[in-house]
A and B are shown apart, each in its own frame.
Chain A
Amino acid sequence: MPAREGTYGLLAEFDTPSDLVRAARQARQDGWRRMDCYTPYPVEEAAEAIGFHRNKVPLLTLVGGLMGLTAMFLFETWVSVWAYPLNIAGRPLYSWPAFIVPAYEWTILFAGLSAAFGMFALNGLPALYHPLFNAPNFRDGATNDKFFLCLEALDPKFDLVESRAYLLSLQPVSVVEVAY
């Protein structure tokens, strides 16, 4: 990401999740798109309020699981039939029912790792720096007991003075400007 300067956005603080969700719905209705909510625990209504309904984690998990399944099953077949054929009590070399268990475990392994790492990757984490941590009230509240709505400067409607007035009309506890 290129280094940016100036304002990242305006951060409004709320005391309760209900106030936040109401404000976020209002902002979305009034045409805001580049915004995000920050909460100490998952608030589904907040994600819906800012218009975020779907995510790609399930798709990644499915692809990962299928990869694990295919990789392990083919590998077992290759080992048992070509690379190192062993006669175990006269059983056929391609004894596929016995291959199911490791293939099943690898389906779960790859799907699980894809779900976890895919989720972090889609979230852009790990991130060593984020401008929001510059806001004085963010670090104290966002992971504790406060609820935040951030209108980002990238939104075409953004204007430092007018947007601040708009946020104040949503009755937050405070509004602060967040610098990059």
Chain B
Amino acid sequence: MPTSELKPSDRIDPATGEYRVVASGETFKSVTEKIAGIVLTPHTPMGWFALFTVAGGGATVLMVAVTWLFLKGVGIWAITQPVAWGFAIINFVWWIGIGHAGTLISAILLLFKQGWRNSISRFAEAMTIFAVVCAGMFPLIHTGRPWLAYWMLPVPLTMNIWPQFRSPLMWDVFAVSTYATISVVFWYVGMVPDLATFRDRSKSRLGQYFYGLMSLGWRGSARHWMRYETAALLLSGLATPLVLSVHTVISFDFAVAVLPGWHTTIFPPYFVAGAIYSGFAMVLTLAIPLRKFYHLEHLVTERHIDNMGKVMLATGFIVAYGYGMEVFMAWYSASHWEAFMMWNRMFGPMGWSYWVLVTCNLAIPLTTLWSRKLRTSIPYMFFISIVVNTGMWFERFVIVVTSLYRDFLPSSWGTYRATKWDYMTFVGTLGLFTSLFLLFVRFLPMIPMNEVKILLPGAKIMPKAKAEAGD
């Protein structure tokens, strides 16, 4: 049922005046049927095919761009001295930042017992994994000879060399690989009971085998659930410091260098907040069309959109503090180089990128997200999500390019203009990400049925009287 057909009393809880997390009238069975019905049907909507064609086209562009890169080398990109970190590192940081919101929703909000996160946690986690897939690719292809990437791993080689553990770039290898592994494990563990539901409801032989193997024989025993809950809680407790460490380590890649614009202690918290800011924007970009397309307005309600708007408001202000502190330190440090960097960043030949960033990350969202009316307006929030995603991409552009292109020696100044291969690689990862996400939506449970069922009124244990069935 689309939102427009719902009566206000279904969507707003009269007791609190807040939008409900799950609209009233849902039962255990209706939740199962709604989520399983999306996947366990032989009919794939035409819209899915249309989107998959577009996204698959994007992924093909990526394949072409990367193939040419492997044949010709990184010279096809715009990177050179002084800007040796171009689109590749911008995109790496942008994608991995997007991933962080998924972990925040699934882990940190679980620790804070935020029940509303239950219905959006699964696809936010999926978003994390696909974003990390896109992110992880960039440093590898940026090395120029990705077939030697295993040199970064601490494995015994015939050359008898070992990695250099004092470098933040090496820390990055461990942080990102751990993050990818733990995210996949967390996602899969969370999915096992829902896959068991699919196994039991699948009509096709292939589906029964596939979901049967994937669900590992899960049968919902109370003992199993207890251990499962403990493991989920522990994984959240572990993923929380992990997600904070990943973007901190990425910011070390910059902050440990002596370059003005990078060498600053504000970077770790400001990177983490920025990551969550852009990640929530991406969750909105995905959730808003999804709930419309699959009619999930009962499960992903205005409450979710509203709460995500609040998180974006808070993290947006941390990011604003970071920008402010960079400007302040440029003045307060009394360093000639720092002051010039900041002036150049704002008013130099690439100053436009700084103002795009200020407009998209501060001016538009931080002035309007205060309004509850706008936070619960679906078209406006979709607009904001695109704006913030753009702004956060430009933030990384500003950090990477405007710090590098005019450093200490004017004789070594240069400029940066991305080539078509840079753009193709970036657009290609957007295609890859969307393709993976569409496959996930088609074949896996995108909303955790077992977690949503906990939120239903029927799940409340009544001590004496015989409770009403299902609801």
Contact = CB atoms under 8 A, between A and B. Distances in A.
A18 B467 contact: yes
Contacts of A41: 193, 225, 449-451, 453-454, 459
Given A55-B226, A106-B178, A127 B216 contact: yes
B181 interface: yes
A142 B220 contact: yes
A130 B220 CA distance: 12
Contacts of B162: 79, 83-84
Nearest to A121: B227
Nearest to B216: A126
What band does the interface of chain B fall in when counting residues whose beta carbon is under 8 Å from A?
A: 35 or more
Nearest to A52: B223
Given A15-B469, A58-B234, A108 B453 contact: no
Nearest to B194: A143
SS class of chain A's interface: helix, strand, loop or mixed?
helix
A109 interface: yes
A55 B230 contact: yes
Interface in B217-261: 217-231, 234-235, 238-239, 241-242, 245, 249, 252
B190 to A, nearest CB: 10
A131 B242 CA distance: 40
Given A37-B222, A83-B162, A113 B234 contact: no
A98 B249 CA distance: 12
B226 A102 contact: no
B188 to A, nearest CB: 8
Contacts of B182: 108-109, 112-113
A99 B165 contact: yes
A102 B461 contact: no
B382 interface: no
Nearest to B183: A112
A30 B247 CA distance: 55
Interface in B127-168: 154, 160-166, 168
A112 B240 CA distance: 12
A101 B165 CA distance: 9
Contact of A61 (B185, B188, B225, B234): B234
B235 A123 contact: no
Contact of A139 (B200, B217, B224, B451): B200
Nearest to A125: B216
A41 B162 CA distance: 48
A102 B171 contact: yes
Given A16-B469, A115-B231, A106 B174 contact: yes
B32 interface: yes
Interface string A38-57: 11111111110110100101
B59 interface: no
Contact of A46 (B171, B217, B222): B222
Contacts of B241: 108
A142 B154 CA distance: 46
Given A119-B228, A126-B217, A42 B234 contact: no
Interface string A83-115: 110101001000100110110111011011101
A144 B225 contact: no
B66 interface: no
A124 B189 CA distance: 15
B162 to A, nearest CB: 4
A15 B220 CA distance: 15
Contact of A115 (B188, B222, B234): B234
Of A18, A39, A41, A61, chain B has the most CB atoms within 10 Å of the CB of: A41
Interface of B: 27-29, 32, 154, 160-166, 168, 170-171, 174-175, 178, 181-182, 185-186, 188-189, 193, 196-197, 199-201, 216-231, 234-235, 238-239, 241-242, 245, 249, 252, 449-451, 453-454, 458-463, 466-470
6 contacts: A24-B222, A79-B162, A105-B242, A108-B238, A126-B217, A129-B217
Given A40-B220, A42-B228, A144-B200, 15 more contacts: A21-B461, A38-B219, A43-B225, A47-B223, A47-B226, A61-B234, A79-B154, A88-B166, A102-B174, A105-B242, A112-B186, A113-B185, A143-B199, A144-B32, A145-B28
Interface of A: 15-19, 21, 24, 36-47, 49-50, 52, 55, 57-58, 61, 65, 75-76, 79-80, 83-84, 86, 88, 91, 95, 98-99, 101-102, 104-106, 108-109, 111-113, 115-116, 118-120, 122-123, 125-130, 132-133, 138-140, 142-145, 171
